[in-house]
Amino acid sequence: MTEITLHSPLDMHIHFRQDDMLKVVAPLSANHFAGGVIMPNLLPPVDNLDRLLWYTEEVRQACQPHAFDPYMTLFFRNYTFAELEAAKPHIIGIKLYPAGATTNSDGGVQEIMAMSAVFEAMQELDIPLLVHGETHGFVMDREAEFCEVYRALATKFPRLRITMEHITTEKAVGLLDEFENLRATVTPHHLILTLDDVAGGLLQPHLFCKPIAKRPEDREALLQAALRAHPKLMMGSDSAPHPRDKKECPGCAAGIFTAPILLPMLAELFERHGALANLQTFVSDTAQRLYRVTPPAKSVTLAKTTMTIPAQYGGVVPMWAGRELAWSVTSVQ
C-alpha cells in the first residue's frame, strides 16, 4: 500500500498552550486532525467555567479556518457537584495531575484518594476522568507505582470512565484488560523511543518528556497494543511545544513536539509493521466509540512520499528535526 486515507483522525491528548504559542501550534493540529482533547494546564490552570469558556473561544479562533472540534478539559480540583453539572456540556473530561508531576502541574492534587466526593460526582454525571498517572517515586518507576492508584480508582468508582493518559509501561497496558472502566492514550513517540534514545548516546533534550520513555520491553508492549488497535487504546500525542531556549539549556522542560508530523510518523510505523489497516481504528474510531463523539468529516490522505521534518515551527523544535520520513500528508479534504 502506498497511500492511505484516514477519516477524521483525532488526537486525544494535545497541549495547545495560549497566546502566541497557541497561534503557532493549534493550526498544525487543526489542519491534520478533525478534533482533539485540549489539556488545561495553563498558568493559571483552566479550573473554572469562565476560564474554560474563554479558553474554548481562544482555541476555536486559533484553529480557524480548519474544521476541528476542540474537546475541552478542566484541570482537576475539589469541584462541587453544581460546578461539575454546569461544566459538563462544555467538556469531554477532567484532567487530574498529581502535584508537580509535569509542566504547570504545581497546583495539582496532593492526595488523590481524598478526592472521593469529586470522583463520585463525576461518576454520577458521567464525566470522564483523565489522569497523568505518575507517583513521585524514582523516575523509571513512577507509572508502574501509580498503577495501584488506577486499580483503586477503577475498583472504587466502577462507572467512572478513566483514561490513563500517555501510558509508557507494559504494566499499564496490562490494566486495560483487567478493568472495564480503564482506557488509555498512548503517544506515537512512546511507540518508538526508549530511554536509550533520550540518554543512551548523546543526551537528546527534544526527546525528553514526562512520563519519560521507558525500557525496550515497555515500548514493545505499547507498540504491539497499538499495532493491533487494542479496543481501549487511543492515539493521544501529548504534543507539547516549548520554545527552543527552554529545551536546549540547563533545566530543559519536559515535552516533545510532534503535532505536525504525527500522521506521517504513524503511517511509516504502521506500514513497517504491516499494520496500516489498523491505523484508522487507532487514530480515530476507538476514541469516537469510547468518548461517544462525532467529529467533523475530514479525509486526510497520506502517500509514501518522503518529507523532511523542518528544523522548527515558530521557534519550536519538533521531534526528529531535519530527519526524513517515508510518508507525508498529500491532501486534506
- Residues with catalytic function: 238
Which grid cell is 257? Answer: 513536539
| Residue (135 or 278) nearer to a copy of itself, CB | 135
Shortest gap between Cβ of 126 and a copy of itself (angstroms)?
36
Q: What whole-number distance in Å separates Cα of residue 88 and Cα of residue 302?
A: 36
Which residues are paired to 37 by β-bridges?
Answer: 71
| Residue (44 or 200) nearer to a copy of itself, CB | 200
Nearest to 113 by CA among 164, 142, 162, 152: 152
Residues that bind a copy of itself (CB under 8 A): 138-140, 194-196, 198-200, 202-206, 208, 212, 215-216, 248-254, 317, 321
| Residue (73 or 169) nearer to a copy of itself, CB | 169
Shortest gap between Cβ of 108 and a copy of itself (angstroms)?
14
Q: Note whether 60 and 66 are within 8 A (CB).
A: no
Shortest gap between Cβ of 122 and a copy of itself (angstroms)?
30
Q: Note whether 84 and 93 are within 8 A (CB).
A: no
Q: What whole-number distance in Å separates Cα of residue 33 and Cα of residue 259?
A: 10
Tell me which DSSP letter residue 254 carries. Answer: P
| Residue (187 or 194) nearer to a copy of itself, CB | 194
Peptide bond into 250 cis (omega under 30): no
Q: Is residue 304 helix, strand or coil?
A: coil
Phi, psi of 73 (to 5 degrees): -130, 155
Shortest gap between Cβ of 248 and a copy of itself (angstroms)?
5
Q: What whole-number distance in Å separates Cα of residue 220 and Cα of residue 212?
A: 15
Q: Note whether 59 and 22 are within 8 A (CB).
A: yes
| Residue (53 or 253) nearer to a copy of itself, CB | 253
Nearest to 209 by CA among 219, 220, 198: 198
Shortest gap between Cβ of 256 and a copy of itself (angstroms)?
12
